[in-house]
Amino acid sequence: MSKKKICIVCEKDSDMIPLIKFKFKGEKYSICSEHLPILIHKPQELAEKLPQAEDLPAGNHDH
């Protein structure tokens, strides 16, 4: 995947929705305001979008 500035979840760009840029494990990513709460509260749900997201400290871990 190219390094376009799109939300890692919904792939909208900043023309469509506010995007927040962040860095994780040295890589740069963007996430939209709509999906930012997922990154904060349920980062494991982003594991397939965000390599090693399962390493993130998250509150609840329901397996």
Of the pair 9, 56, the CB lying nearest Zn ion is at: 9
Of the pair 3, 63, the CB lying nearest Zn ion is at: 3
Q: How far is the CB of 54 from Zn ion (least distance, A)?
A: 20
Q: How far is the CB of 26 from Zn ion (least distance, A)?
A: 22
Residues that bind Zn ion (CB under 5 A): 7, 9-10, 32, 34-35
Q: How far is the CB of 63 from Zn ion (least distance, A)?
A: 25
- Contacts of range 4-10, beta carbons closer than 8 Å, 24 or more positions apart: 5/30, 6/30, 7/31, 7/32, 7/34, 7/35, 8/35, 8/46, 8/49, 8/50, 9/35, 9/38, 9/46, 9/49, 10/34, 10/35
